[in-house]
């Protein structure tokens, strides 16, 4: 049974799916599995994806917040036309939705 799991983990490592390999190895109660986990950590530390999600969330919040600010300011300035308000509103919604989804993925 564990031979098949090790083979599956090796296949995932070859495909550079280190997260999937870690999941399989955590389910194996064997010292060799712990050695493999350490080797995977040397290839790709576990926190790498988390930093990427945080950066994406930060950029999305910035875009969404800036677009929301433009939308709010545009209602007080009569010289700004409707199309600018619409684009800013759509960007605000998209930016904040992306930031929300990325934030949820980051917490997994």
- What are the pLDDT digits (tens) for 35-86? 988 888 887 765 556 677 778 778 877 877 777 787 777 777 777 777 877 8
Mean per-residue pLDDT over the chain, rounded: 79
**pLDDT score, position 45:** 60
pLDDT at 31 over 80: yes
Mean predicted confidence (pLDDT) in 22-45: 85
**pLDDT score, position 97:** 82
Mean predicted confidence (pLDDT) in 8-17: 86
Long-range contacts of range 38-42, CB-CB < 8 Å, 24 or more positions apart?
40/13
8 Å CB contact between 88 and 67? yes
């Amino acid at each position: 049974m564990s031979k098949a799991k090790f083979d599956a983990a090796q296949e995932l490592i070859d495909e550079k799916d280190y997260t999937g390999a870690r999941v399989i190895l955590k389910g194996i109660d064997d010292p060799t599995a712990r050695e493999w986990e350490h080797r995977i950590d040397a290839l790709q530390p576990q926190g790498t994806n988390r930093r990427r999600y945080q950066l994406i969330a930060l950029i999305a919040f910035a875009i969404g917040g800036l677009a929301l600010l433009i939308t709010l300011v545009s209602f007080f300035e009569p010289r700004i036309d409707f199309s600018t308000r619409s684009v800013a509103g759509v960007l605000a919604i998209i930016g904040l939705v992306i930031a929300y989804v990325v934030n949820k993925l980051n917490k997994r």
